[in-house]
Each structure stands twice: as C-alpha cells, then as structure tokens.
Amino acid sequence: MKIERSKELFAKARKCIPGGVNSPVRACKSVGCDPLFVARANGARIYDVDGNEFIDFVCSWGPMILGHNHPAVVAAITETLADGTSFGAPTPKEIELAELVIAALPSVEKVRFVSSGTEATMSAIRLARGYTGRTKVVKFDGCYHGHADSFLVKAGSGVITLGIPGSPGVPEDIVKNTLSIPYNDVATLEKTLRDESLDIACVIVEPVAGNMGVVAPHPEFLRAMRAITTERGILLIFDEVITGFRLALGGAQQYYDIRPDLTCLGKIIGGGLPVGAYGGKKEIMDHISPVGPVYQAGTLSGNPLAMAAGVATLQELARPGFYAALERKAAGFAAGLQAIAERYLPGQTTLNRVGSMMTTFFTPGPVTDFATAMGADTGRYGAHFRNMLAQGVWLAPSQFEAAFISAAQSEADLAAALDKTEWSFKKLV
C-alpha cells in the first residue's frame, strides 16, 4: 500500500495544525501509525490521496448511515447551494427538519438546532439547570458528551483513547458540579439520585454507550434512571448524538421504550454536514431565549445546507424496511466476526453489538462498563487495525470507538471484510 502522499501531507499539516489533525483520535497515535489523508468517498468506500481504496466501517464516526455521497443527499445539498450557503436568518428547511425530528422521536415536542453535538449537550445542561434551578449534573464513567468543560470528567472517546485524565484548562469550580458514576450500576445510581444534598439538576447518559466502545445498557438501568429522575424532579437527558436515527427512526428511546425529558442529537440529522440539536417537552424548551430566560445562540445554527442534507437523510431512513434490512446485515456480520474470534482467539475477545453499531474488544469480557472496557488489550487492537488497513478495511483508530454498518455496504463488501478479518486474526495468534 502506497502512503507517500499521506506522509507528505501529514508532515505539512503538523507545521500549521496542532498534531496535524483537527480532532485528536484522527492522529492514529493509539494504533501505532500515522493517519491517511482522504481524497473522496462513495457508497461503502473511502479513497485516500495515494489512491488506496477501503471498505468503510467508520462512516464519518456514524453519520453516513446511507453511505457516502448518497444521490438524494447530494441532490438536496446541490439544490440548496444554488440559493446560498448561510443567511443568519430563518429558512423553511429548518421547519421541515424540525417537523421530521419531532415526528420521529417520541419525547420531542420542540427542537433547537445548533452546529455540533458538543454544543447540543452543553446547551441542554444549561437549560436543565435554568429550568430546575439546581446546579449538579450526573454523568457516567466512560460516556462522552463532547468537550465542554462540564463533561471532561472520566469521559470516553479520545480522552480515554489518548489516556488523558480529564483535561488541563478545566477549572475545579466547574468540574465540582459534575458527578461521574459507573455505567450500568443501578445501586450507585439510586444512592446518588436520592441524595437530597446533591442538588441534582439533570442526569445525562448515552443510552447505548458508544465512546468507550459499544456498551449496551442493562434493561433495569435505564428503567431505574427514568423512574428515580421522575420521582426526584430531575431532568433526564438522552445523548443520542450517536444513537439518534441509528438504532431506529425514533432512536434509542424508541428502541428501549423510555422517554427522556431532553434529547441531544447530531451526526445523522445533518446527513454528514456539521449539525447538532436538542429538544424535548414544550414546557422545558420554552425556557430558551427568546421565549424564556435561558440564553443560547449560534450564527450558523440551522445552516441551510445542513438542514437540506438532514431532511433528505431522514426521508430516506423513513422508507419501509430500512432498519430491518440494516439489522439483518449487522447481525450477519457480527455473527461472522464472532465465529472468527472463537476460531483463532477463543476466550480472548468480546463482541458487543446494538443494532448497526458494534465493537470487538480484545479482552475476555464481558464488557459492561468503563472499568471492564479499560481491560481491553489496546496493543492487540492496534495490530489488528494496521492489518485491516493494509488489507483495505477502514476501522476506527481506537479500541474505544464503534464500528458502523451502513446501508451502502453490500453482502459482498461484508463478506470481503470478514475474509480480511480472518487473515488479521491468524496473524494475531
């Protein structure tokens, strides 16, 4: 595999961009190699600047559920582009996308668009504090809710990939208002939420953890969370930046039949363009300015190109049978991965899957929380990543991220990826 052009670009990038990348995990440090620079993508494939071709299981970290360069999304962006790129004023597409989101998500009655998932989660906790008049936020170890100061406490994603214990630059006065407790631990959840002295405004959770690798919730975990927050007048926030429109048209809240008070969205609802959103009950959302006193604003919020791409994407996802077909693909692929792991590394890997997102952990398992995820052999994952890259398969450059199945991946693509996985596992023995 030729990588000369990528090497040249990475050397050039390091001179003008910190670490040569604009998001830390992309540097590929944890998997023992330098990043490849991408030139283009189409369908289930991504192509680097040296002309190498890869079957893509990163899907731009989740958004490309339809695959890259989907004709309906491209047509929507192209049509909108002819009229301009940004106006700083309301547009009809904002209403259209808002109506689609509200129709799909059981708990959302009003929605506010922003420009990223971080902005959505940051705004949602500010709203929760403003609505309840309380200060504390409860999150869960290994869950990642963006890089706002309040969330960089035992966070997932690049924070654990790079081994960073939180982050310098986050004042203690802010962090002291964030309580991080173990994921899937009902006893600790109940003890924390029932402590009246803590002044808890909200609980924010990835209903399916996707940033310490994929970790499914125990059924009683989410049910207990909903019951106690309701009892205590604490707002429950689902961070569905990854799971929203990924597990079902109605997200994880439809998948598990649990309605949060607020929902944070991103990734898929922009069709691959930068976007975020938060929404929920009318009585809560109407506390946001200009209706209410909680201030939040954004110059590029509701960007017309992102709104158009989001509308086109959600319309495609609403087609009958879409999620059933995606589930069949994902289940078949996961079964193939499991068979390979049992053949070559018996008792040494754990495959976690929920819908079309999955992670192979190089640890005996089970992996049910942050502590057990951290037991994974990152060195072995790095070797597997490099093996697969050399064979033309694009995986996330971190043990603690998800692999995604897209509608664009054919059965032949998945079969080819399994063949290459078997080759890699033979080398790992």
* Catalytic site positions: 144, 239, 267
Of the candidates 385, 359, 421, the residue with the CA atom closest to the CA atom of residue 34: 385
Dist CA 157 CA 91 (whole Å): 34
If one counts every other C-beta atom within 10 angstroms of the C-beta of residue 343, the result is 12
Dist CA 144 CA 157 (whole Å): 6
Tell me 339's DSSP state: H
Of the candidates 143, 182, 175, the residue with the CA atom closest to the CA atom of residue 159: 143
Dist CA 139 CA 155 (whole Å): 9
Length of the chain: 429
Cα of first residue to Cα of last residue in the chain, in angstroms, is 23
Of the candidates 387, 372, 414, the residue with the CA atom closest to the CA atom of residue 213: 372
Could you list the beta-strand ranges (E) of 86-185.
110-114, 136-140, 178-181
Please tell me whether residue 277 adopts helix, strand or coil conformation.
strand
Dist CA 202 CA 225 (whole Å): 11
Dist CA 73 CA 244 (whole Å): 18
Dist CA 6 CA 34 (whole Å): 9
Q: Using an 8 Å Cβ cutoff, are 336 and 363 in contact?
A: no
Amino acid identity of 367? V
Tell me 211's DSSP state: S
Q: What share of the chain is helix, strand, coil (3-state, %, to 5)?
A: 45, 15, 40
Dist CA 41 CA 143 (whole Å): 29
Q: How many CA atoms lie within 13 Å of 351's alpha carbon, on the beta-carbon side?
A: 20
Of the candidates 379, 380, 377, 361, the residue with the CA atom closest to the CA atom of residue 369: 361
